[in-house]
């Protein structure tokens, strides 16, 4: 018995044949991709059945088939399926990014033509079809005022509505609020413009304008607030629901009132997501044309007063210049579109930086 145990103890342990599984070399996927493109181009152009788009589609299919076959031969079926699905996911990402990159490239390449002081310092007042000058200063002022007023109306109202739904709302009334918010999410922008036109411009504004209906930037802000409100409410509601319940329970256990818990714990925790929803609503409002055209009327002159007379916006300026017969109008339209995108981007970055300063987010 002791001899058997001693022989067992002195026997060297068995060594595994290999600790590493076989893998494709790193150069294999690029080589397969180049070969797939070459074969697809030869087949498509050789037979004359299509162009570059068909070459890319056929090359993608050949690449997936070749990658699966090579990985199956070297690494096995399981690894081959993993590589194939990873390639499909990366391909979907590229397909999603390509249109965005194309839009950005087109916008920047065509919008830099009128990036000058004249464009940002003058309006279209007294600018004829043969005049190369003229800018969007009046439209920038209108966009900032209209979107700013709409945000001042919508953001507090939307956040308070979401707080009620999540923290206090129970029963049929809360269900009715959610239902109407969902309905408002799908309202076309032209409907909100018609609503403000019928209510504010034709009924309310004559009371303050000697019986005459009056277009104004404030009316446009009201129409934009109708479009912004459901986005703010829904995004804020979802962010508040993501706040962990133990945070609320811990505050209640310490004797903190519910309103102070919401103000000091729940809102700061959900602030980054709330800011994202608010910026989405602002971006949508800044790009709307129909409500501004219906209730603000547009205009070529600079108007700093949002409560009187016609007022333009960048989105309306792009629409008007894109349909103008002047050969100088397309350049103005592209530069105004680039300015609008840059303005929304700057506001989004600034809001994100401010949201990061909350104490619970550090």
CB 310 within 8 A of CB 299: yes
Query: What is the rounded distance in angstroms from the CA atom of residue 250 to the CA atom of residue 245?
Result: 9
Please state the rounded mean pLDDT for residues 335-342: 94
- The DSSP H or E segment spanning 279 is helix 267-286
Looking at per-residue confidence, does 169 or 9 come out higher? Answer: 169
Beta bridge partners, 324, equal: none
The three-class DSSP label of residue 296 is coil
Query: What is the rounded distance in angstroms from the CA atom of residue 207 to the CA atom of residue 305?
Result: 18
Number of helical H runs and strand E runs in the chain: 16, 0
Site of tokens 């999410």: 185
Site of tokens 């002081």: 117
The number of CA neighbours under 13 Å toward the Cβ of 129 is 5
Query: What is the rounded distance in angstroms from the CA atom of residue 173 to the CA atom of residue 117?
Result: 54
Per-residue confidence band for 299, with pLDDT thresholds at 50, 70 and 90: confident
Please state the rounded mean pLDDT for residues 303-329: 91
Q: pLDDT tens-digit profile of 123-145?
A: 998 888 888 888 999 999 999 99
pLDDT of residue 236: 94
pLDDT of residue 20: 62
Q: pLDDT tens-digit profile of 177-215?
A: 889 998 888 888 899 999 999 999 999 988 888 888 889
Neighbours of 215 (CB within 10 A): 22
Per-residue confidence band for 362, with pLDDT thresholds at 50, 70 and 90: very low
Query: What is the rounded distance in angstroms from the CA atom of residue 345 to the CA atom of residue 353?
Result: 12
Please state the rounded mean pLDDT for residues 39-57: 87
Degrees (nearest 5) of the Cα angle 184, 280, 339? 125
106-118 burial: b if 16+ Cβ within 10 Å, else e: ebeebbeebeeee
Per-chain mean pLDDT for the chain? 87
Query: What is the rounded distance in angstroms from the CA atom of residue 272 to the CA atom of residue 357?
Result: 10
Query: What is the rounded distance in angstroms from the CA atom of residue 40 to the CA atom of residue 34?
Result: 10
pLDDT for 57 beyond 90: no
pLDDT for 237 beyond 70: yes
The three-class DSSP label of residue 62 is helix
Q: Which of 78, 69, 63 is nearest to 30 (CA)?
A: 63
- The DSSP H or E segment spanning 139 is helix 137-163
pLDDT for 295 beyond 90: yes
pLDDT of residue 52: 84
Q: pLDDT tens-digit profile of 244-281?
A: 989 888 988 888 899 899 998 999 889 988 998 999 99
Query: What is the rounded distance in angstroms from the CA atom of residue 263 to the CA atom of residue 163?
Result: 10
30-50 burial: b if 16+ Cβ within 10 Å, else e: eebbeebbebbbebbeeeeee
Please state the rounded mean pLDDT for residues 209-231: 91
Query: What is the rounded distance in angstroms from the CA atom of residue 297 to the CA atom of residue 45?
Result: 54
pLDDT of residue 139: 94
Per-residue confidence band for 17, with pLDDT thresholds at 50, 70 and 90: very low
pLDDT of residue 15: 47
CA 238 to chain centre: 17
Per-residue confidence band for 9, with pLDDT thresholds at 50, 70 and 90: low
Query: What is the rounded distance in angstroms from the CA atom of residue 46 to the CA atom of residue 58?
Result: 13
pLDDT for 294 beyond 60: yes
Least confident of 49-53, 63-67, 160-164, 174-178: 49-53
Looking at per-residue confidence, does 140 or 50 come out higher? Answer: 140
Please state the rounded mean pLDDT for residues 309-327: 91
Nearby residues of 244 by Cβ (< 8 Å), 6 or more positions away:
none
């Amino acid at each position: 018995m002791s001899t058997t145990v001693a022989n067992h103890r002195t026997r060297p342990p068995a060594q595994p044949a290999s600790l590493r599984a076989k893998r494709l070399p790193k150069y294999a996927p690029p080589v397969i991709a180049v070969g797939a493109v070459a074969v697809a181009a030869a087949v498509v152009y050789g037979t004359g059945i299509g162009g570059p788009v068909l070459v890319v589609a056929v090359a993608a299919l050949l690449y997936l088939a070749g990658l699966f076959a090579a990985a199956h031969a070297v690494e096995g079926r399981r690894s081959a399926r993993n590589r194939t699905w990873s390639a499909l996911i990366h391909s979907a990402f590229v397909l999603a990014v390509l249109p965005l990159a194309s839009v950005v490239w087109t916008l920047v390449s065509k919008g830099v033509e009128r990036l000058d002081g004249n464009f940002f310092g003058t309006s279209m007042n007294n600018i004829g079809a043969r005049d190369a000058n003229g800018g969007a200063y009046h439209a920038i002022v209108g966009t900032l005022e209209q979107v700013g007023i709409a945000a001042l109306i919508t953001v507090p109202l939307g956040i308070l509505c979401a707080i009620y739904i999540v923290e206090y709302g129970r029963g049929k009334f809360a269900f009715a609020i959610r239902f109407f918010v969902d309905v408002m999410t799908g309202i076309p922008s032209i409907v909100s413009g018609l609503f403000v036109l019928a209510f504010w411009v034709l009924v309310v504004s004559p009371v303050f304008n000697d019986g005459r209906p009056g277009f104004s930037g404030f009316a446009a802000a009201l129409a934009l607030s109708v479009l912004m409100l459901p986005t703010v409410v829904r995004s804020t509601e979802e962010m508040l629901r993501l706040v962990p319940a133990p945070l609320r329970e811990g505050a209640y256990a310490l004797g903190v009132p519910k309103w102070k818990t919401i103000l000091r714990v729940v809102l700061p925790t959900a602030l980054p997501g709330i800011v994202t929803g608010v910026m989405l609503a602002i971006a949508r409002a800044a790009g709307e044309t129909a409500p501004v055209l219906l209730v603000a009327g547009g205009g070529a002159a600079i108007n700093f007063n949002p409560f009187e007379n016609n007022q333009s916006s960048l989105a309306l300026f792009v629409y008007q210049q894109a349909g103008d017969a002047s050969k100088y109008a397309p350049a103005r339209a592209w530069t105004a579109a680039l300015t609008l995108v840059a303005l929304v981007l700057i506001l989004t970055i600034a809001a994100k930086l401010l949201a990061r300063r909350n104490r619970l987010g550090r």
